[in-house]
């Protein structure tokens, strides 16, 4: 009888924060369908996209939690990466989008009081998370790992840096 090595768990090994951008896009479709008018078809379409955004949001949160629990080194590597780290700004923007889409589309399903409560919670969490990513992620990259702003490990700024600083503007 031979002993085999236990299988390596690769589920949830690759869950970068940019998956939250899918929630943003889906939720924005719900808001856009609502904004086009109040016809029966558009209202139904906005509700469908709102439900889809909520389901994707819950799924991506669950996958991210599992990623951090099972693959902590890979998750930390995302924070160190000069591009991927800025996508942590997508997390609060996804939260803000779910809140807004709940207020405009979800209200038809869960009622005005519940929709407003969900939006207030999402707005608060999204705003706090957005301020945190807008301050911490760029500062981490501007200072580099050595803490020296002129150090050799400091990456050059590029357009992707906007992902981490936009959430407070979305809140405003």
- Residues 7-24: pLDDT tens digits? 556 778 788 999 999 999
Residue 165 lies in a domain: yes
pLDDT tens digits, residue range 94-144? 999 999 999 999 999 999 999 999 999 999 999 999 999 999 988 887 776
Q: CA–CA distance from 98 to each of 53, 119, 170 (Å)? A: 7, 8, 13
Round to whole Å and give the CA distance between 149 and 69. Answer: 32
pTM: 0.86
Residue 8 lies in a domain: no
**How many domains does the structure of the chain reveal?**
1
Round to whole Å and give the CA distance between 21 and 19. Answer: 5
State which H helix or E strand residue 87 sits in. Answer: none
Residue 155 lies in a domain: yes
Residue 37 lies in a domain: yes
Round to whole Å and give the CA distance between 164 and 170. Answer: 11
Q: Which domain holds residue 34?
A: 17-171
């Amino acid at each position: 009888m031979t002993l085999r090595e236990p299988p390596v768990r690769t589920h949830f090994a690759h869950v970068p924060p940019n998956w939250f951008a899918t929630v943003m896009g889906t939720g924005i479709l719900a808001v856009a369908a609502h904004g086009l008018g109040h016809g029966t078809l558009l209202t139904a379409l906005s509700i469908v996209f709102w439900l889809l955004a909520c389901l994707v949001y819950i799924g991506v949160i669950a996958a991210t939690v599992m990623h951090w629990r099972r693959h902590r080194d890979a998750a930390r590597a995302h924070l160190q990466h000069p591009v991927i780290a800025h996508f942590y700004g997508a997390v609060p923007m996804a939260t803000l989008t779910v809140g807004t889409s709940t207020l405009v589309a979800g209200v038809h399903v869960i009622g005005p009081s519940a929709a407003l409560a969900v939006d207030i919670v999402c707005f608060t969490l999204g705003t706090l998370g957005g301020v945190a990513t807008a301050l911490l992620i760029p500062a981490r990259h501007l200072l580099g790992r050595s803490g020296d702003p002129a150090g050799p490990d400091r990456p050059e700024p590029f357009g992707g840096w906007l992902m981490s600083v936009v959430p407070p503007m979305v809140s405003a």
